[in-house]
Amino acid sequence: MAMPGDPPNGTPEGAGGADDEFRSDEYRSVVFDEDFVRAARLQEFSAQERMGEHARAVRSRSIWSNGGGHPGPRSGSGGGAARQGRIIVLCIALALAGAVYMGLRNPYVPPAGDPAEAMSSTVVPLAPSEAVPGGRPTDLYAHSPAAQYRVGAAGITFPGVRRTRHFSDEQVQTALSVAKDYLVQSSLDPDVLSAEASRPVRVLLDPDQLTQFDQSMLAPAGNGRHAITGWLVRFDPATAVVADTRVRVSGVLAFAETAPNALEVTSDHTFVYAVRPATGQPPVADGASLFTVRRELRLRFDRDDLTARRAELVSAYVMAGPQACSADPAGGFRPMLAGAGPTTTGPAATDPYASGSPRRTAGLCGVLAPTATPEPPESPQSRSPASPAAPGEGVSPAP
């Protein structure tokens, strides 16, 4: 009787012994049940299937086969691999298409920036209510409200930088930096002040505002849109020139997000210039005098502006004096120089040095507060011999 694991026709003649017994024990543990056969990855074709041309002896039972193991077209052994490759390529293509679609539909893509608005400006001359004092620039600065102001760009300082809802810390820092650049170029550049250049300001503006800016430079007008002094500080070169390039500056910058794609910076700064008569004008006895400009600007930035480091100047409110009310400041400031007498009186005066928002005049001209003019030290000749000068009296501190 044949045991499980023995050859079906019994043990061949000439074979046996210990070796046969060993092999019988080896195969006795293998049970070829129905589940084992079905799980085999290779299955022998029937005799009829093997009669076909180019037929194979066995077929693959891989999951990539047609019909879950039924024989597919007689395409050779590479058919299954090619089919598998096509499926993989299709999956990759679908994944890429989905990624592109989700990128196009990404709700966090910032909207395109709106066209820049036209700049609106108000420029108000402040007429003196007292005679304009004169002297050396250092003495005038030392005895004026600008005595503690910083010199030049050092007077334009940043507030604490923090992110907003839609703008990062870096973007806020960029907006403040561009705003400071605009103030420096438009208020402190000697060539801009003397009407010899305007390009340093122009290159910082949004392209949508360049046409308006160029029209203002070519044909200035006090219509609220085309005043040169709304864009920048410029002195009428036929009237006065800057006597000291160390302009005194003080003020504040602030920022706020006004829309998901708009960051706004507001500036409120007082600039104090020492001026003297222009070449060809008769000199004044006391030399220089002070001229004060208070500028309140609103600058807007979208993401394109931040990338290109430019700004949209939305509005400018400017007060400057001492100037006569009859002077048109649209094309350039025309300071009243040292020794000029008062041209107006009235209690509703404006102090451009006052902290916070200054008093805004509703008319076309304001009154310069007496507190905004320097008080030169008493001259030695005016003292009586019986009243000697106190220690340090009459000595001007260093700027």
The predicted-structure confidence for 5-17, as pLDDT tens digits, reads as follows: 555 565 555 555 5
Q: What is the pTM of this model?
A: 0.67
Q: Are 195 and 234 in contact (CB under 8 A)?
A: yes
Cα separation of 210 and 215, whole Å? Answer: 9
Helix (H) or strand (E) holding 99: helix 79-104
- Least confident span in 146-155, 249-258, 322-331: 322-331
More confident site: 37 or 122: 122
Residue-level pLDDT at 371? 81
Q: Is the pLDDT of residue 361 over 90?
A: no
Nearest to 332 by CA among 235, 199, 239: 235
Mean pLDDT along residues 226-240: 96
Cα separation of 80 and 84, whole Å? Answer: 6
The predicted-structure confidence for 277-303, as pLDDT tens digits, reads as follows: 998 777 776 789 999 999 999 999 999
Find all residues with CB under 8 Å of 84, minimum gap 6, and list them.
64
Radius of gyration of the chain (CA): 45
Q: Is the pLDDT of residue 35 over 90?
A: no
Residue-level pLDDT at 286? 73
Cα separation of 277 and 243, whole Å? Answer: 9
Confidence class of residue 373 from pLDDT cuts 50, 70 and 90? confident
Average of per-residue pLDDT values in the chain: 80
Confidence class of residue 342 from pLDDT cuts 50, 70 and 90? confident
Residue-level pLDDT at 256? 96
More confident site: 373 or 380: 373
Residue-level pLDDT at 211? 97
Mean pLDDT along residues 306-316: 97
Q: Is the pLDDT of residue 212 over 50?
A: yes
Find all residues with CB under 8 Å of 222, minimum gap 6, and list them.
123, 328, 329, 330
Q: Are 349 and 373 in contact (CB under 8 A)?
A: no
* DSSP secondary structure, 173-218, as one string: HHHHHHHHHHHHHHHT-HHHHTTS--HHHHTTB-GGGHHHHHHHHH
Helix (H) or strand (E) holding 82: helix 79-104
* DSSP secondary structure, 312-369, as one string: EEEEEEEEEES--TTS-TTS-B----TTPPP----S--B-TTSSSSPPPPSSS-EEE-
